[in-house]
């Protein structure tokens, strides 16, 4: 499987800025050997989708709701995202867990909803600095991953775990490569316990996010157990993204 680079533009760009950045990404997409995904704000999905249509760059959403339809003001269903041309959907980003009290149960419901469609969930997990210092990091990852995958049966579907230590997000303090490989190896061992070795290796990818930039991106992407990157801040600068090989 190709390594994947997912650009999470968060709530940083209005519609016209999203569209012009998408045009720049089209140039980069032609040169990279990796799979490239853009996650703009929901209101920009249609227009950005039109810009990258027919191109190897894929579209991703930053969030989804678990119900298929109904009276859920402000929410968007998996089917609607699929119809808009999305291939990937971020679930349980730490900013949503922290700011909107998104729980492990909600993350699980979203993952189950996505797997009823062709959309690929990108499940974000990661420990806080306090948890890391208290040596509880691995236990936090185990809880988040087991809960997110409760009742999940993988047939042909794929899923991605994005390991995003909260202390590394937006802080300029990315994980050290040896630590990343160790954590990712651990996450793989959890996935093997849930799905079995074959499915974990064939259907699952484990990517890293947190202060990835033009300097550390290629090194992190090169690591054995790092299948890709989830990039926030640096993904707003197309030149930085273009430097990650």
Closest C-alpha to 62, from 91, 24, 35: 91
Residue 241 touches ligand PGA, criterion: CB under 6 A: no
Of 93, 95, 127, 184, the active-site residue reads 93
Strand partners, 120: 88
- What distances in angstroms separate CA 120 from CA 4, 16, 115, one per listed residue? 13, 27, 7
Question: Residue 37 or residue 212: which is nearer to ligand PGA going by CB?
Answer: 212
Name which of residues 115 to 174 contact ligand PGA (CB under 6 A). Answer: 164, 169-170
Residue 226 touches ligand PGA, criterion: CB under 6 A: no
CA distance 51 to 152: 34
For residue 207, the minimal CB distance to ligand PGA (Å) is 10
Question: Residue 8 or residue 32: which is nearer to ligand PGA going by CB?
Answer: 8
8 A C-beta contact, residue 154 and residue 195: yes
| Choices 37-45, 65-73, 151-159, 226-234 (CB under 6 A): range interacting with ligand PGA | 226-234
Residue 8 touches ligand PGA, criterion: CB under 6 A: yes
For residue 96, the minimal CB distance to ligand PGA (Å) is 10
Question: Residue 111 or residue 154: which is nearer to ligand PGA going by CB?
Answer: 111
Question: Count of residues binding ligand PGA (CB under 6 A)?
Answer: 13
Is 93 a known active-site residue?
A: yes
CA distance 151 to 158: 15
Residue 232 touches ligand PGA, criterion: CB under 6 A: yes
Question: Residue 154 or residue 220: which is nearer to ligand PGA going by CB?
Answer: 220
For residue 111, the minimal CB distance to ligand PGA (Å) is 18
111: how many CB neighbours lie within 10 A of its CB? 24
Closest C-alpha to 52, from 26, 78, 83: 26
DSSP code string of 170-197: TSS-PPPHHHHHHHHHHHHHHHHHHH-H
Choosing from 49, 209, 217, 228, the residue that interacts with ligand PGA (CB under 6 A) is 209
| Choices 132-140, 153-161, 190-198, 224-232 (CB under 6 A): range interacting with ligand PGA | 224-232
Residue 64 touches ligand PGA, criterion: CB under 6 A: no
Of 35, 131, 164, 184, the active-site residue reads 164
Is 164 a known active-site residue?
A: yes
Euclidean distance between the first and the last CA atom of the chain, given in angstroms as a whole number: 16
What are the E-state strand segments in 31-78?
35-39, 58-61
**206: enclosing H helix or E strand:** strand 204-209
Please give the distance of CA 238 from its chain centroid, rounded to a whole number.
18
Residues within the interface to ligand PGA (CB under 6 A) = 8, 164, 169-170, 209-212, 230-234
> Would you name the residues annotated as active-site residues?
93, 164
């Amino acid at each position: 499987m190709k390594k994947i680079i997912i650009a999470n533009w968060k709530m940083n760009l209005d519609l016209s800025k999203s569209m012009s950045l998408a045009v720049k990404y089209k140039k980069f997409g032609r040169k990279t050997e990796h799979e490239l995904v853009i996650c703009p704000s929901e209101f920009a999905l249609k227009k950005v989708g039109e810009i990258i249509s027919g191109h190897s760059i894929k579209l991703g959403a930053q969030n989804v709701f678990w119900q298929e339809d109904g009276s859920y003001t402000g929410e968007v269903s998996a089917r609607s995202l699929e119809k808009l041309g999305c291939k990937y959907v971020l679930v349980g980003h730490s900013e949503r867990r922290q700011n909107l009290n998104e729980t492990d149960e909600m993350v699980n419901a979203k993952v189950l909803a996505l797997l009823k469609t062709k959309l690929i969930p990108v499940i974000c997990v990661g420990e806080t600095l306090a948890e890391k210092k208290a040596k509880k990091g691995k236990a936090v990852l185990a809880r988040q991953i087991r809960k997110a995958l409760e009742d999940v049966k993988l047939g042909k579907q794929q899923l991605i775990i994005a390991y995003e230590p909260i202390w590394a997000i937006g802080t300029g303090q990315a994980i050290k490569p040896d630590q990343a490989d160790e954590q990712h190896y651990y996450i793989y061992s959890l996935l093997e316990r849930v799905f079995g070795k074959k499915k974990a290796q064939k259907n699952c990818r484990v990517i890293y996010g947190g202060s990835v930039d033009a300097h550390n991106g290629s090194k992190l992407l090169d690591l054995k157990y790092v299948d890709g990157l989830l990039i926030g801040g640096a993904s707003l600068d197309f030149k930085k993204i273009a430097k990650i090989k």
